[in-house]
């Protein structure tokens, strides 16, 4: 990735981390996040988000399970967040079906 590519991506992301939206900081620049299998550049992430994705194996099912886990505990386990919690299991069922088909 060239400096021009980086700056163009930074502009498209609004000069912020693609996940937590922390503003770009010259002292803590955003990391180029890529798919380790294909080398496809997914976006620019702060160190925390980049490390977090890696620690969860860059796995969408694992990340959804983490969402379900957090939604099941305070402060999220409230009526206000119930609709979001109810959305997670159907999404995980889709992933399980996809796993069984492969």
Rounded to the nearest whole angstrom, what is the least distance from the CB of residue 19 to Zn ion in the complex? 5
Cα 84 to Cα 67: distance, rounded to the nearest angstrom: 9
User: Rounded to the nearest whole angstrom, what is the least distance from the CB of residue 54 to Zn ion in the complex?
Assistant: 13
Residues contributing to the site for Zn ion (CB under 5 A): 17, 19-20, 22, 46, 49
DSSP bridge pairs for 23? 16
**Sequence-ordered list of residues with C-beta below 8 angstroms from that of 33, at least 6 positions apart, any chain:** 18, 41, 42, 43, 44, 45, 50, 53
Give min distance, CB of 16 to Zn ion, in A.
8
Rg (CA), the chain: 17
């Amino acid at each position: 990735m060239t400096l021009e590519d980086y700056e163009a991506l930074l502009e498209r992301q609004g000069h912020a981390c693609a996940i937590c939206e922390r503003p770009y900081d010259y002292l803590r620049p955003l990391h180029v996040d890529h798919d380790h299998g294909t080398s496809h550049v997914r976006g620019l992430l702060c160190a925390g988000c980049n490390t977090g994705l890696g620690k969860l194996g860059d796995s969408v099912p694992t990340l959804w399970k983490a969402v379900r886990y957090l939604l099941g505990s305070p402060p999220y386990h409230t009526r206000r967040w119930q609709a979001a919690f109810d959305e997670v299991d159907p999404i995980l069922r889709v992933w399980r079906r996809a796993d069984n088909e492969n």
